[in-house]
Structure 1
């Protein structure tokens, strides 16, 4: 079937661009077996594929909007948004994380050295995720319809190990930071022994090593070829392996551990922290009111308040942005194993990936909101390139 999209006549020719558009018969099937058009193929005069373009997808959506079900329309809108969303996110996230690393490494933001080490590690891990996942995976899949050019690069299994290891580090660094703050606030007897730079270095190195070791099995389960027929599969996997109980158990454990177990641990630690703060704050407030006749604020409570705000913002942001992707991944793997408990449309997967990528650049915004000293250093970093120009103008 040919669609008359204003730029084509009924002979499928364009007098201005000398292009002809092939039929829109490339379809995929969602979990209900309903067909929805996924790719838009534009062919030049020689029959070569030009790829799926932003304008072509907009034209196709407008031409078939009324005839498509709601879930298909949402899916197409999200994929159109990704043309702008993913490159913009990469442009913002890379300098934001680099700037965060530079500022926090100076340890002049009023945070403890221990907390600064964890936050720097989180920013480095987020930067690695942006490079390996967003730049080298999401953007190419969003802009290129057929990924044949990737077949000549035999590094997919290595790419998978690096990507999943960086993702694990990003997730579990957040857990270790949450646990560090829990010990600092709720366990005064362990505070001096655990909340120090040496322990932080050991914990971060251990998490990094375990993350790399845990994800080495992807090197042997994946092939070295990129899977170019799907938007989100990374490497080729044999069908007998993909649907085998062994593969299913490994992948199910992978998605359950990261970020499933991590989310549970963060929630549990935050609940315990809130409970401890609610108990100690009341008693400390009463003692401070009795001994304080000048009306001065309690510096300990002020410092604790800043730490709590930072902790809850980071934890809440992580839980909010990772939940959708986690639920869809676990549900999809259970469906492949024959246990379908919940139907989730394909647009939930796209939305989950978009939110997950957003989580790699929001910590900088959190630091700006919660710490005035970080805002001051950020202003200095932004103004630094323009300082020589201002001096030259004054001279």
Structure 2
């Protein structure tokens, strides 16, 4: 629904911003499909099904990584796009276009797919029944090897520590620029009209709210998983051997839960901060009933 609403370009946002937001919504939908539904629902509750074949399981593990990376880096690029649009007047006209946004998103997707390739070799069958490989579990040889350890640390840096740092940097620079511009604008307009509504300042205020809520929501919901990964790596506790009461296991699973929850929050953020998005959402929700009412009235006539 979010993708449909943003694709209509009636929310008062630029086409470039809508392109990034649609991409973020697609990544969130992929997380809900692959990471939540397929992995945590079908994978655990439908054993010995199509999803339990080793090849299929490994493919979905690969897609899980891609979905998370896309959600992270699409959010980063959205933050950078807003920084360029607000803080870089010369670069804005060339960078903040739909064509550039599409090229950036396609490049990020290609890099993400390449970065996640090692996951295809990090798992092995859990068991073999009638010459069929079932399930997939992590290869201890892979994750304890120098290359496996290097990949794990590299993956943890790309998700989410570098994105955290970049988003905080771009947000701070963007908000500082907006506050400085508002201060200058108020000084130019004069004190005698401070009580009047300034549409430019109001637009900038909404930009700050949207940018800050999306970025801060992402950082807060991903923080548990990031800290959990670092702590388990530093203390060398990464395999629990079925001990589901271990604090490290509980922290890791809680981190995953919050990560997946972050894919559901953007719609709430759009609805809470954008009045035009709320109006479009209301139209989409009421359209089937309005159309049905029109058909009923025609038949009665």
**Interval containing the TM-score (normalised by the shorter chain):** 0.7 to 0.9
Pick aligned residue for 1:369 from 268, 272, 275: 272
Cα offset for 1:125?
0.7
Separation of aligned partners in 1, 2:145 and 2:216 = 36
Secondary structure of the residue aligned to 1:154 is helix
Q: 1:351 aligns with which of 245, 249, 254?
A: 254
2:3 pairs with 1:101: yes
- For normalisation by structure 2, the TM-score amounts to 0.86
Asked if 1 retains the 8 angstrom alpha-carbon contact of 2:221 and 2:262, the reply is yes
Using the alignment, how far apart are the partners of 1:356 and 1:195 within structure 2? 29
How many angstroms apart in 2 are the aligned matches of 1:345 and 1:159? 25
Distance (whole Å) between structure 1 residues aligned to residue 145 and residue 88 of structure 2: 46
Unaligned runs of 5+ in 1: 1-98, 228-233
Aligned residues of 2:178 and 2:204 also touching (Cα < 8 A):
no
Q: Does 1:328 align with 2:228?
A: yes
* Distance in 1 between residues matched to 2:195 and 2:89, nearest whole Å: 27
Quote the offset at 1:141 in angstroms. Answer: 5.4
CA distance in 1, matches of 2:141, 2:259: 30
TM-score by length of 1: 0.66
Do residues 129 (structure 1) and 23 (structure 2) align?
A: no
Structure 2 residue aligned with 1:184: 85
Pick which of 150-159 and 263-272 moved more: 150-159
Which has a greater percent of helix? Answer: 2
Aligned to 1:93: none
Cα 1:344–1:184, aligned 2, differ >3 Å: closer, same or farther?
A: farther
Larger Rg: 1
Q: Any idea what SS the aligned residue of 2:55 has? A: coil
Aligned pairs (5 A) from 1:195-274: 195-223=96-124, 225=125, 235-274=136-175
Alignment of 1:1-395 (within 5 A): 99-140=1-42, 143=45, 147-149=47-49, 150-223=51-124, 225=125, 235-289=136-190, 296-336=196-236, 345-394=248-297, 395=300
In structure 2, what is the Cα distance between the partners aligned to 1:194 and 1:364?
A: 26
**Deviation (angstroms), 1:107:** 0.7
SS at match of 2:138: coil
CA gap 1:358/1:337 in 2 versus in 1, 3 angstroms: closer
Local SS of the residue matching 2:233: helix
Aligned length: 283
Contact 1:110 1:373 in 2 (8 A): yes
Partners in 2 of 1:260 and 1:235 — Cα distance? 28
Q: Is the 8 A contact 2:54 2:136 kept in 1?
A: no
Cα distance between partner residues in 2 of 1:391 and 1:254: 54
Q: 1:151 to 1:112 in 2, by over 3 A?
A: closer
> 1:251, 1:333 within 8 Å by CA — same for their partners in 2?
no
Given the superposition, is the C-alpha separation of residues 238 and 276 from structure 1 closer, same or farther in structure 2, using an over 3 Å criterion? Answer: same
Q: Is the contact made by 2:232 and 2:248 (CA closer than 8 Å) also made in structure 1?
A: no
Q: Distance in 1 between matches of 2:126 and 2:207?
A: 44
Gaps of 5+ in 2: 128-134, 239-245
Give deviations 1:323-378, integer Å, cap 9, x for gaps: 1011112222333389xxxx954322222111111111110011111111111111
